[in-house]
Structure 1
Amino acid sequence: MRPTTTSRRRIAALATTATLALLGGLATAAPASADKPQGGHCARQSKVAVPGAQAQKVACLDDLTTAGTVASGHTNPNDWAGLNAAGTVNPTGVPGIQADGYFPDTSTTNTNNGWNHDSQFVLRLPDHWNGGLVVSGAPGTRAQYANDFIISDWVLSKGYAFASTDKGNTGAAFYRDDSAPGGSIREWNSRVTQLTVAAKSTLRKVYAKSPKRTWMVGISNGGYLTRWQLENRPDLYDGGVDWEGTLFRAEGPNLLTYLPTALKNYPRYATTGDPAAHDAMIAAGFAPGSEFLWPFHHAYYWDLTQRIYREEFDPTWDGALDAGVPFCAGGTPSCDADYDYASRPEAVKDAVRSVSLTGKIGKPMITIHGTLDTLLPAATDSDVYDTLVDRAGSGALHRYYRVEDGTHTDGLYSAYPDRLRPLLPCARSAFDVLTAWVERGMAPPADGLVRRPAGGDVVNTCAL
């Protein structure tokens, strides 16, 4: 069906949010304010030395949350734009130390801090430390501050130290780091491991004791990182929260198996209402009832996501072109609407296999996923991953909650408050359930559907 005038207005109004939500901000953070004098809660500042960092700068701040760091220049709001719903209430007033820096790297896509250097990280150490550490990696192709509002603020207020990385490459051309196919994504995993090890070492020096617990938490590509770390480096963590993590599987499903279906069929459905085109979308995994989100995702997500991830894994498919032809119609040479992953050479599958997930997690993990996710549909992603976990014999370590009416980014909630619900409060509830599970032996609820409540504050509350 052709989008209505109201729908077109909503799409136009959300354009900036969508661009930032997929790519993250690339603007340079504001200049940092002068460090405070030593003494008081700044006394440990001289002990901060992140091992392996090529550069670092350290500041003692009255407030490590975004309520303070936006003004002081110790975050970049563009990095986290569009990830939260309007009306989200965050804690404030957490004094402590922030370390910004980067590890050695040869790519230069991240402009934060004026460094023009990738593998940037942020590490926040609250004065009143509870002995725990939360590690995260940026979602999408964003930079290291992407989780500041949705994860850092909240865990800092609970006393956790927080560390996040840009994953070693950023932006829509993240695949241009001179690595072999799949190499840019392989770097994501190694950079998270690198930061986790370095952050633990730093905490030991600063607080004179090792962290009691280390947790991995992430959204979208950050959720993928949580899955990968708990599968491959469970020794580093006590558990994790996987918020709609990306699923890479050499045999599929993956982004490259269902996005071409959307690129080929949605335009025909939008212009003529062709029921066959609609049925093809549903068969590809897009949820019935998500149709109102299709115009927006076609305009801002599906095309770009398909082209840049296909370029990462299969750069020879479009010859000398750099990530194909935007918004091309099927039949156009090198058009990603015609991309057929199944028929591609085994080398392409090998590139995907190098970053694939198995489900063999070694520490407890909770997955949450919205039923109306229209970028990473649950049917092609977390539903499949939950089955992989069970088949790998790790089901006892995993809980999976599908959240009714949740979609990929909470920034869309304001446009459709009667149809969507934010996932952030559910992710926070999942973290509390996880820590109670590991630390106090409180068994979490069984897998299931988290119904949308009939009333109440859905922006800030969620009961799993």
Structure 2
Amino acid sequence: MPLMRIARPIAAVGATLLTALLVPPGANAAPAPHPACTARVPGAEYVTGACLADLTTAGTTVTGHTDPADWAGLEAPGAVNPSGVKGVQLDGYFPDTSTTNTNHGWNHDSQFVIRLPDHWNGGLVVAGPPGVREQYANDRLIADHVLAQGYAYAATDKGNTGARIHTDGRRPGDAVAEWHDRVTQLTVAAKRTAARHYGRAPVHTYMAGASAGGYLVRWQLENRPDLYTGGVELHGLLLTPDSPNVLDTAPAALRAYPRYAAGEPGALEEMYAAGYPEGTRPLWEWHYRNQWDSLQRIMREEIDPGYDGDREAGFPFCPAGVQPGCDTDYVYADRPRRVHRTVERLSLTGRIGRPLITLQGTLDTLLPISRSGDVYARMVEDSGRGGLHRYYRIADGTHSDGLAAPFPQLVRPMSPCLRTAFDALTAWTGPGGTLPPPSRTVPRPAPGSDTVNMCSL
């Protein structure tokens, strides 16, 4: 039975995807799906299946088996995706007590989607969404392209969604820790589901993701390498016990940017010192208004809820030095040891156990590259795992390809580079063992190149 949708504004954190209305038994009741169109997903509390003529967004947008609002703003204008992949889609959820994900009218977290193409190449790709989005967020960025190559695909909502993830769990950090468990849970379940569906287990399993999803690629390859052949990630969040990490980049910008905008002496140099280089200046206002404040308050409330007392997620856009508990004044290094222990529980180490390709744009203005990707690359090298890692700094790339529309002369889309990196990863881990190019800064192509759809590493 197709899943029907009621649209809501793109600015919402997650869109509501409703199931078809229930009807009483009788002549108007929809027929039960054919047994071949559904499957049991190990550990799932509920699963519904559908045989679809097209598992890509070209088809699922029409049939209601994706959520366009979940991937809105992540794509550059002119992006061309493949289509026409016939197969089975499974939607469902694992047992969970939180209810932040309202997709399908289920009001139930730990939702997932599994797509099983008819023409399978023997592989599986697993993804977690960026930010606090839901399970369909990677449908344009990752799913369409790997499905067209014949991979089965599985994605999770990470176990909690939206701006109030901090309400999930019993202690600080539990919501993020659940992200780890839900990716592992889905990977195991999707492998078994694919094995039952096709009659043989996947030969290769890859992890892919961006931002928070990129953080999860790193975490899985560090902590559960037994489950994967390798991974590819785009500008992953960085969590480490000490600075720099995701909790201390945004506050510096929130303090300095208003002073810079007001023309105050020294503010520009403060922005540079905080990791936001000269080339990112045109992007500062947009990030101040749309991302720095929300990212800081969401992650800080999850990890350090005591900072603002009993208030939930602080005071939006509070000026520095005025309001106690203001995230603009947040200094991670000064927080109590218990906060650092929470971050330590969630932290990355660089000790990857499978091949990993990392990409980050030099104009990333949400997670500055010198405080994020560059740091993680050194962590991998310092842990002795450099041979398993490639790190490509993409000149003029930023954190969201959606910014290519308002800043077409400045921003280079990252999504085609992610796809090229995925192909490089599969060649690296495949029968030929073709090594990817050495880590480097990838220059912007010549003017007139199709940077929206093509990328060479």
Please give the range of the TM-score, normalised by the shorter of the 2 chains: over 0.9
CA contact (8 A) 1:317 1:334 kept: yes
Cα deviations by residue, 1:343-388 (Å, 9 ceiling, x for unpaired) = 1111000111111000000000000000000001111101000000
- For 1:179, the equivalent position in structure 2 comes to 170
C-alpha displacement at 1:275, in angstroms?
A: 4.1
Give distance in 1, aligned partners of 2:32 and 2:99.
30
C-alpha displacement at 1:88, in angstroms?
A: 0.4
Q: How many residues align?
A: 439
Q: Indicate the SS of the match to 1:162.
A: strand
Instruction: Give the counterpart of 1:449 among 438, 441, 453.
Output: 441
Cα deviations by residue, 1:313-354 (Å, 9 ceiling, x for unpaired) = 110111111111111111222111111111111100011111
Instruction: Give the counterpart of 1:459 among 442, 452, 456.
Output: 452
Give distance in 1, aligned partners of 2:19 and 2:414.
29
- For 2:336, the equivalent position in structure 1 comes to 345
Q: Indicate the SS of the match to 1:216.
A: strand
Instruction: Give the counterpart of 1:262 among 240, 250, 253.
Output: 253
How do residues 9-158 of structure 1 correspond to structure 2 at under 5 angstroms?
19=11, 23=13, 25-29=14-18, 31=20, 38=34, 44-46=36-38, 48-158=39-149
Give distance in 2, aligned partners of 1:29 and 1:70.
14
Instruction: Give the counterpart of 2:268 among 246, 267, 278.
Output: 278
CA contact (8 A) 1:30 1:73 kept: no
CA contact (8 A) 1:325 1:336 kept: yes
Return the letter of the residue paired with 1:150: L
Residues 1:295 and 2:285 are matched in the alignment: yes
CA contact (8 A) 1:26 1:171 kept: no
Residues 1:398 and 2:389 are matched in the alignment: yes
Cα deviations by residue, 1:169-191 (Å, 9 ceiling, x for unpaired) = 00011111132111100000000
Give distance in 1, aligned partners of 2:76 and 2:32.
33
Instruction: Give the counterpart of 1:386 among 359, 377, 381.
Output: 377
Q: Indicate the SS of the match to 1:134.
A: strand
CA contact (8 A) 2:99 2:109 kept: yes
Cα deviations by residue, 1:259-302 (Å, 9 ceiling, x for unpaired) = 11111110010112x34111111111112210100000000101
- For 1:13, the equivalent position in structure 2 comes to none
Return the letter of the residue paired with 2:454: T
CA contact (8 A) 1:36 1:60 kept: no
Give distance in 2, aligned partners of 1:178 and 1:433.
38
Q: Indicate the SS of the match to 1:431.
A: helix
Return the letter of the residue paired with 1:280: E
Against the structure 1 CA distance between its residues 119 and 434, is the aligned structure 2 distance closer, same or farther, given a 3 Å change threshold? same
C-alpha displacement at 1:110, in angstroms?
A: 0.3
Against the structure 1 CA distance between its residues 246 and 323, is the aligned structure 2 distance closer, same or farther, given a 3 Å change threshold? same
Instruction: Give the counterpart of 2:196 among 205, 215, 234.
Output: 205
C-alpha displacement at 1:250, in angstroms?
A: 1.0
Give distance in 2, aligned partners of 1:124 and 1:416.
34
Give distance in 2, aligned partners of 1:261 and 1:116.
36
In structure 2, list runs of 5 or more residues that go unmatched. Answer: 1-8, 23-29
CA contact (8 A) 1:329 1:337 kept: yes
Give distance in 2, aligned partners of 1:62 and 1:207.
18
How do residues 301-450 of structure 1 correspond to structure 2 at under 5 angstroms?
301-331=291-321, 332-439=323-430, 440-450=432-442
In structure 1, list runs of 5 or more residues that go unmatched. Answer: 1-15
Give distance in 2, aligned partners of 1:364 and 1:290.
31
RMSD of aligned alpha carbons: 1.5
C-alpha displacement at 1:96, in angstroms?
A: 0.2
Cα deviations by residue, 1:190-238 (Å, 9 ceiling, x for unpaired) = 0000000000010111101000000000010000000000000000000
Cα deviations by residue, 1:412-463 (Å, 9 ceiling, x for unpaired) = 1011111111000000000001111111211111110111111311100000
Return the letter of the residue paired with 2:17: T
CA contact (8 A) 1:31 1:73 kept: no
Return the letter of the residue paired with 2:199: A
Q: Indicate the SS of the match to 1:60.
A: strand
Percent pairwise identity: 56
- For 1:11, the equivalent position in structure 2 comes to none
C-alpha displacement at 1:29, in angstroms?
A: 4.7
Give distance in 2, aligned partners of 1:30 and 1:407.
36
